[in-house]
Structures are given as C-alpha cells and as structure tokens.
C-alpha cells in the first residue's frame, strides 16, 4: 500500500521560514494537499493541488511537489502557525495521509 512519510517534528523561530516535507514513491505524479490541525480542532485545508491556497489562507503558506517529495513552506512563521500538519494524496482510489508533523514555533 502507498505510504507518505513526514518528519515527526519541525521547529522554527518566529519570523523564520519553516519547511515540512512529505515523501512518497513518485509523489510528484500525484496532487498533494496539506492540512493544519490545532489541538482540539478539526483539520483545515491550507494547500491543495500541490501549491494552491484556499481562500482565507495567508500568503505565507506555499507548497511544491516534485519527484518523490512535496514540501509545505511557511514564510515568516507566526506563533499562530504552531500546529500539526498532514500531507495527503490519492492513490488508486484510496486516500493516504502522512503521519503528521508537529510544528513548534519557539
């Protein structure tokens, strides 16, 4: 079965750039989405189709996807961006999530 691998945790200082990776076999041939989840809340879509932002998502969130790795980049990271982030892609009619990355802003 298809798997997506994320680092368990990433730390970033306020105002700096955070990058969260998601690896999967030929992931670049699929569309990747990214979800933000804060404690006690439902996930929120922050990036879809590799690099597009839904309305209401700040411009500091961006994404890319090439070959075997999708990357979520948060520029000028703010304290409010501290959350868990999950990548997701579709493979053979099944939805696959990465294991999640806890982003700490300190």
Partner 1 sequence: EVQLVESGGGLVKPGGSLRLSCAASGFTFYNYDMNWVRQAPGKGLEWVSSISSTTRYIYYADSVKGRFTISRDNAKNSLYLQMNSLRAEDTAVYYCARVTNSGYDSWGQGTLVTVSS
Instruction: With contacts defined by CB under 8 A, name the span among 17-25, 61-69, 71-79, 96-104 that binds partner 1.
Output: 96-104
Q: Is 48 in the site for partner 1 (CB under 8 A)?
A: yes
- 57 binding partner 1? (CB under 8 A): no
Three-state DSSP at 80 gives helix
* Residue whose C-alpha is closest to residue 84's, from 4, 6, 17: 6
Q: How far is the CB of 16 from partner 1 (least distance, A)?
A: 25
Quote the tokens at residue 66: 């090439």
- Binding positions for partner 1, 28-47, rule CB under 8 A: 31, 33, 35, 37, 42-45
Q: Which residues lie closer than 8 Å to 106 by C-beta, 6 or more apart?
A: 11, 12, 13, 14
Element (H, E) at 73: strand 69-74
Coil, helix or strand at residue 68: coil
> Does the protein bind partner 1 through residue 2 (CB under 8 A)?
no
Residues at the site binding partner 1, with contacts judged by CB under 8 A: 1, 31, 33, 35, 37, 42-45, 48-49, 52, 54, 84, 86, 88, 93-100
């Amino acid at each position: 079965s298809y798997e997506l691998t994320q680092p368990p945790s990433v730390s970033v200082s306020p105002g700096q750039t955070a990058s969260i990776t998601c690896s999967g076999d030929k992931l670049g041939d699929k569309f990747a989405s990214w979800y933000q989840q804060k404690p006690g809340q439902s996930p929120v879509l922050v990036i879809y189709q590799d690099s597009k932002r839904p309305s209401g998502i700040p411009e500091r969130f961006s994404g890319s996807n090439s070959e075997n790795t999708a990357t979520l980049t948060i520029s000028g990271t703010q304290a409010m961006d501290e959350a868990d982030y999950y990548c997701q892609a579709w493979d053979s009619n099944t939805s696959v999530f990465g294991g999640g990355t806890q982003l700490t802003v300190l």
